[in-house]
Amino acid sequence: MDIHEYLNNDYFLLTLTFGVYFLAKLVRKMLQLPVFNPILVSIAFMICFLTIADIDYETYKLSGSKIDFWLKPAVVSLGVPLYKQLHSIKHEMVPIFMSQLVGCLVGIVSVVALAQYFGASRIVVLSLAAKSVTTPIAMEVTQSIGGIPSLTATIVVFVGIFGAITGFRILKYGHIGMPSSQGISLGTASHAVGTSAAMEHGMEHGAYASLGLTLNGIFTAILTPYILQMMGII
């Protein structure tokens, strides 16, 4: 096996990806700088590596498909911290549901309106509507309304990383200090990546972020087609 065959090997690419992510987490822990988000660092490194090694994306995607099936169970596992905080959440269900409904509506309407204002094509607008929910749900929603799932996946990752890097800083400027409010805001706006960042701040942050991620995913999956119909997009 020559070096090019070795670099194109599925298991080598998977091992490299995991290794880079692990090292990126160590760097983030040492430097304590939000900009060194492990996902962002890993993506940047792998793009550079694939370009230098002349490995096409389809080859890398094929190696990643070996672990794609873990994506949905990983999202379900976010219910564990939610269950541990269930006694507190039960007393706040009405304001939580109302805030999630508003968050879903604002998230969809704002991105669609901005995309239209800046001249985005109809198919791009459809692909942006589900930007704030986790990748499996976002791609399913986009496919059902006629958008481009791969574009949606890219935007979802960008939104998640942006929220993980800037979310707590923005909440601080907005004088939002309660762990429950911070967590649910990050989960609603930045899905699983934001939830991961929230969990680094504590179990309560993580539990409410998981709740925000889950409820926004449900509301977005149900309401997106109707909201787009009301806006005249579909």
For residue 133 the two structure tokens come to 């929910």
Instruction: Please report the pLDDT score of residue 19 as a whole number.
Output: 92
pLDDT at 60 over 60: yes
Question: How confident is the model over 203-217, as pLDDT tens digits?
Answer: 888 888 888 888 888
pTM of the model: 0.76
Question: Helices 38-52 and 149-173, interaxial angle, to 10°?
Answer: 140
The answer on pLDDT for 124 being more than 70 is yes
Q: Determine the pLDDT at residue 136.
A: 80
Q: Which residue has the higher pLDDT, 106 or 177?
A: 106
Closest CA to 135 of 192, 82, 181: 192
Q: Is the pLDDT of residue 11 over 80?
A: yes
DSSP 157-172: HHHHHHHHHHHHHHHH
pLDDT for 2 equals 65
